[in-house]
Amino acid sequence: MKRILSLIQPSAGIDDRELDENTAEELVQKIKRSCHDTKSAQHHRGPAPTRVDEDDIILESMVDSSGILDRDDQGFWDFYGQASGKMFLRGLQNHSEKLQTLVPRAIPALKLEDTKTSFENYYSAQMFPSHELPPREEVVALCQRALDNVFVLTSFIHQPTFHVVVENICSATNRDLDNQERRVVPLLYVILAIGSLCPSDNKDPELLHREAGLAQGRKLFFKSNQLLDLSNCRDLTSLQTICCWVIYLQAVAEFDRAYVYIGIAVRCALRLGMHRSVLAGSDPVEQEMRKRTFWFIHKADVYLSGLLGVPQMIHDEDIDQILPLELDDAYISKDGISPMSPRNTPLIAAQDLLQLSFAHVQMVLYRPFLHYLLNSRRTQDSSPHAKVCAFACLDVSRKIIENMGRMAERGVPIGPHWFVMYSTYFATLNLLYYAFGGPSSELQHSGIEYAYKDQEALTFFGKQSLAADRCSKSIEVRTRALVRKAYAC
């Protein structure tokens, strides 16, 4: 009791022996008088000086936390964050007018023309002979095939500007290429490589076209690699070229190499300040393409990191870049942005891809609980919520396969869209997993039927995609084993 009173009122004199002789009412009155005397004494003394906690002090930094986007002596964009030396020098100059000093990077450096690049396969696009390109008609057809079929969700290349530059490159027989044309040459080659993977007839692709397209695309991709110096990727066009490398490598199922190039693209984008919402670019075209290119890199980072099971390289808390405008390229020009008229182009392909992307997220969210549907003692007493998630995984898997079948019937080109094949592949594995180990039911038998449907769709797409062909053969082996097991029982 004394301990409690000492906590409530330390100045009440709890250790006084006379307190034991007082009644409860007298004790309360004595405590009240003690409290009153303490407040009166504090009033006469005035307010006690308050001690300021060091943690509550707000310190003002002389360095802007948002960073700056500036151009170097060669006209390339450079982003400098809060901890950079340039930001510190800028803070010094803002707080001291007498201290006006040049940033070392602003002083033009000595050009060493004899210095060789560290990449042995690189040679300058200035030496590019235009006769090495395919015929002009084939160049235009391959470029349009790639831009129409592959860049459905993320069109980070401004098509009107790109077509004009390509026309100039194809007609440059007796003259040297200018700086813009030289930067576009590696991009042109990799877009031609991507276009080689897309069949000319989506509804009736041929296996021979896939083999010929792979061979042609491999040569064009290697040529693009030769023409771009990765150690000096300082402009938007070079970064777009690396992004197209990622698309091509995903289409031919070389995900390890694609992940490496995504890492390079992330570093280049951060160096160019694309992750920050700052005004950059001399015209609206460059400003919008910067945003589109960055969000493609972010999406590719999410997709590949999810497939390979590795951490993402770009964190959301480091990004304040706004989303690009929902406009077609024809309404974005160097003079400004025009309001877009109602769309006349079909959006079915984009809707299918978005539905599969959303379903893939659902499937990845639910599939860790799939084992709760098996016949075992450990799962019989499991939580009903886990089984609900497991059944939801099976339901989403069936929807993915049904959507894939409709895309095959319409002949939607999905060759370079690798995540479509792998989403369908894992959806089929989910159903086969339950069919192998789950209790005998109609749902188990329907899993075999959906596996056959998916195999048919992947066989169709296997004529235009190496990844789809591999997935189809893998599912065929597993389905046959399951059918043999069913007949054996």
Q: What is the pLDDT of residue 220?
A: 94
Residue 13 pLDDT greater than 80, yes or no: no
Range from 73-82, 347-356, 357-366, 393-402 carrying the lowest mean pLDDT: 73-82
In which band, very low, low, confident or very high, does the pLDDT at 65 lie, cut at 50, 70 and 90?
low
Q: What's the rounded mean pLDDT across residues 413-439? A: 77
What mean pLDDT comes out for the span 367-390? 74
Q: What is the mean pLDDT of residues 366-380?
A: 72
Which residue is it, tokens 């057809």?
141
Please state the pTM of the whole predicted model. 0.72
Query: What are 434's two structure tokens?
Result: 């339950």
- Which of the listed ranges 113-127, 156-170, 171-185 does the model predict with the highest average pLDDT? 156-170
- For 84-143, the pLDDT digits (tens) are 555 555 665 665 555 555 455 554 544 444 434 433 444 455 555 555 788 889 999 999
For range 9-18, the mean pLDDT: 57
- pLDDT, tens digit (0-9, with 9 covering 90-100), for 268-300: 999 888 998 877 667 899 999 999 999 999 998
Contact 321, 277 (CB under 8 A): yes
| pLDDT at 265 (0 to 100) | 95
pLDDT tops 80 at residue 418: no
* Of the candidates 366, 451, 458, 476, the residue with the CA atom closest to the CA atom of residue 421: 458
**pLDDT, average across residues 25-35:** 62
Q: If you average pLDDT over each of 74-78, 161-165, 175-179, 480-484, which comes out highest?
A: 161-165
- ∠ at Cα 31 (25, 33), nearest 5°? 105
Indicate if the pLDDT at residue 192 is higher than 90. Answer: yes
pLDDT on residue 109: 47
For the chain, domain boundaries: 2-50, 68-106, 125-337, 348-488
Instruction: Give the pLDDT score at 116.
Output: 41
φ/ψ (deg, to 5) at 486:
-65, -40
Q: HEC states along the chain?
A: CHHHHHHHCHHHCCCCHHHHHCCHHHHHHHHHHHHHHHHHHHHHHCCCCCCCCHHHCCCCCCCCCCCEEEECCCCCEEEECCCCHHHHHHHHHHHCCCCCCCCHHHCCCCCCCCCCCCCCCCCCHHHCCHHHCCCHHHHHHHHHHHHHHCCCCCCCCCHHHHHHHHHHHHCCCCCCCCHHHHHHHHHHHHHHHHHHHCCCCCCCCCHHHHHHHHHHHHHHHHHHHHHCCHHHCCCHHHHHHHHHHHHHHHHCCCHHHHHHHHHHHHHHHHHCCCCCCCCCCCCHHHHHHHHHHHHHHHHHHHHHHHHHCCCCCCCHHHCCCCCCCCCCHHHEECCEECCCCCCCCCCHHHHHHHHHHHHHHHHHHHHHHHHHHCCCHHHHCCCHHHHHHHHHHHHHHHHHHHHHHHHHHHCCCCCCCHHHHHHHHHHHHHHHHHHHHCCCCHHHHHHHHHHHHHHHHHHHHCCCCHHHHHHHHHHHHHHHHHHHHHHHC
Quick one: what percent of the chain has pLDDT higher than 70?
A: 63
Residue-level pLDDT at 280:
66
Q: Is the pLDDT of residue 202 over 60?
A: no
Predicted local distance difference test score (pLDDT) of residue 71: 66
Q: What pLDDT is stored for residue 111 in this prediction?
A: 46
What mean pLDDT, rounded, does the chain reach?
A: 75
Strand partners, 337: 332
pLDDT for 57: 52
Lowest mean pLDDT among 11-15, 280-284, 370-374: 11-15
pLDDT one-digit tens code per residue, 402-417: 988 888 887 776 666 7
Cα–Cα distance for residue pair 144/135, rounded to 1 Å: 14
13: alpha, beta or left, given left = phi > 0 and alpha = psi -120 to 50?
A: left
Lowest mean pLDDT among 378-387, 417-426, 471-480: 378-387
What burial class does residue 124 get, using C-beta atoms within 10 Å of its C-beta: 0-12 exposed, 13-18 middle, 19+ buried?
Answer: exposed
Which of 367, 467, 362 lies closest to 419 in space, CA to CA? 467
Examine the pLDDT at 75 and tell me if it is beyond 80.
no
